[in-house]
Amino acid sequence: MEVVFTDAALERLQNRMQGKKGSLKLKHDTEGCGCVVSGIPALWLVEKPEDNDTKILTNGPDLYMDYNTEVFFDEKMTIDATAGNHFSLKSPSEILNSAMKYYDKTEQNTGS
């Protein structure tokens, strides 16, 4: 699996992370969805990858994902910055999330 960050996405990530330590995770977020199949992609800043996380090849920061959720993503994807301080996640065949949110899930979180 490979994820390419656009320059705009890399700049926005740098601004959002503000030098915080942690690992970036592409999360299949199911909170409030009712079913694992209904999850939506999100970017999480976590303290460290979990044992079941897989490292994804990128042109930017290290990015991880829970190996059990790989089925919900495409082999090649792009993350771009969009209006409203969100990100988009797309592949050559589809838009997976046009308004992907970023969440700071670290202990250093001051309200993201």
pLDDT value for 15: 92
pLDDT value for 108: 59
pTM of the model: 0.88
pLDDT value for 18: 86
pLDDT value for 38: 62
Q: Which pLDDT tens digits describe the chain residue by residue (112 residues)? A: 999 999 999 999 999 988 888 999 999 976 765 555 567 899 999 999 999 999 999 999 999 999 988 999 999 999 999 988 899 999 999 999 999 999 999 975 655 4
Give the tens place of pLDDT for each residue, 87-103: 999 999 999 999 999 99
User: How is 47-92 classified by DSSP, letter by letter?
Assistant: SS--TTEEEEEESSS-EEEEGGGGGGS-SEEEEEEEGGGEEEEE-S
State how beta strands 86-90 and 76-82 pair. antiparallel
pLDDT value for 39: 78
pLDDT value for 55: 96
